[in-house]
Amino acid sequence: MKFHIMRKITTLLLILLITILLAGVSVEAKETRPNILLIVADDLGYSDIGSYGGKINTPVLDQLAKEGIGFSNFHVLPTCSPTRSALLSGNDNHVAGMGVMGEFIYPEIKGLPGYVGHLADRVATIPEILRSSGYHTYMTGKWHLGEDDEQSPFKRGFEETFTMMNGGGSHWADMKPLSPHEPMIYRRNGKRLAELPKDFYSTKDYTDLMMGFIERNKDDGKPFFAYLSYTAPHDPLHAPAEYIAKYKGKFDEGWDALRWKRLENLKKLGLIPKDLNEFPPNLMTTKWETLSAEEKKVYARDMEVYAAMVDYMDMSIGRLFKFLKENGLYDNTMIVFFSDNGANGAHATSYPGNADGKYLGTFNNEIENRGLPNSFIDMGAGWAQAASAPFRMFKSFTAEGGIKSPLIVKLPGEMANKGQWNHSFLHVTDIMPTFLELAGAIYPETANGKPFKKPIGKSITPILTGGKERIHENQGMGYELFEMKAYIQDEWKLLRLPVPFGTGVWELYNLREDPGEMHDISEKYPEKKAGLLKAWQQYAVQNEVFDHKGRFDAMYRKAYGVEK
DSSP output for 218-243:
TTSS--EEEEEE--TTPSSP---HHH
Q: What is the pLDDT of residues 296-355, one digit of tens each?
A: 999 999 999 999 999 999 999 999 999 999 999 999 999 999 999 999 999 999 998 899
Check whether domain 35-474 has CATH 3.40.50.10680, yes or no? no
Q: Is the pTM of this model over 0.75?
A: yes
Catalytic residue among 75, 80, 171, 347: 80
Domain boundaries, the chain: 35-474
Interval 108-112 mean pLDDT: 91
- pLDDT, residue 111, reads 86
In 3D space, the residue among 488, 358, 387 whose CA is nearest the CA of residue 428 turns out to be 488
- pLDDT, residue 7, reads 43
The CA–CA distances, whole Å, from 311 to 38, 49, 59, 315, 341 equal 19, 9, 9, 6, 18
CA distance linking residue 457 with residue 429, whole number of Å: 5
Interval 519-547 mean pLDDT: 97
CA distance linking residue 127 with residue 157, whole number of Å: 5
The CA–CA distances, whole Å, from 547 to 233, 481, 508 equal 32, 11, 21
8 A C-beta contact, residue 309 and residue 235: no
In 3D space, the residue among 150, 8, 79, 32 whose CA is nearest the CA of residue 405 turns out to be 79
In 3D space, the residue among 130, 186, 125, 133 whose CA is nearest the CA of residue 156 turns out to be 125
Residue 447 pLDDT class (50, 70, 90 cuts): low
Q: What is the pLDDT of residues 178-192, one digit of tens each?
A: 999 899 999 999 999
- pLDDT, residue 97, reads 96
Residue 4 pLDDT class (50, 70, 90 cuts): very low
- Per cent of the chain over pLDDT 90 is 86
- pLDDT, residue 564, reads 56
8 A C-beta contact, residue 443 and residue 436: yes
pLDDT of residue 56 exceeding 90, the answer is: yes
Name the more confident of 17 and 51: 51
Q: What is the pLDDT of residues 242-268, one digit of tens each?
A: 999 999 999 999 999 999 999 999 999
Tell me the pLDDT of the chain averaged across its residues. 93
Say if residue 267 is exposed, middle or buried (CB neighbours under 10 Å; 0-12, 13-18, 19+): middle
Backbone angles phi and psi of 2, in degrees to 5 = -60, -35
* 238 catalytic residue (yes or no): no
Interval 279-299 mean pLDDT: 95
Within 10 angstroms of residue 561's Cβ, the number of other Cβ atoms is: 13
8 A C-beta contact, residue 387 and residue 48: yes
CA distance linking residue 330 with residue 341, whole number of Å: 27
CA distance linking residue 431 with residue 38, whole number of Å: 10
* 548 catalytic residue (yes or no): no
Coil, strand or helix: which one is 4?
A: helix
pLDDT of residue 539 exceeding 80, the answer is: yes
- The count of C-alpha atoms lying within 13 angstroms of the C-alpha of 13, restricted to the half-sphere facing its C-beta, is 6
Beta bridge partners of 255: none
Q: What's the Rg (C-alpha) of the chain?
A: 24
Catalytic residue among 75, 94, 136, 144: 144
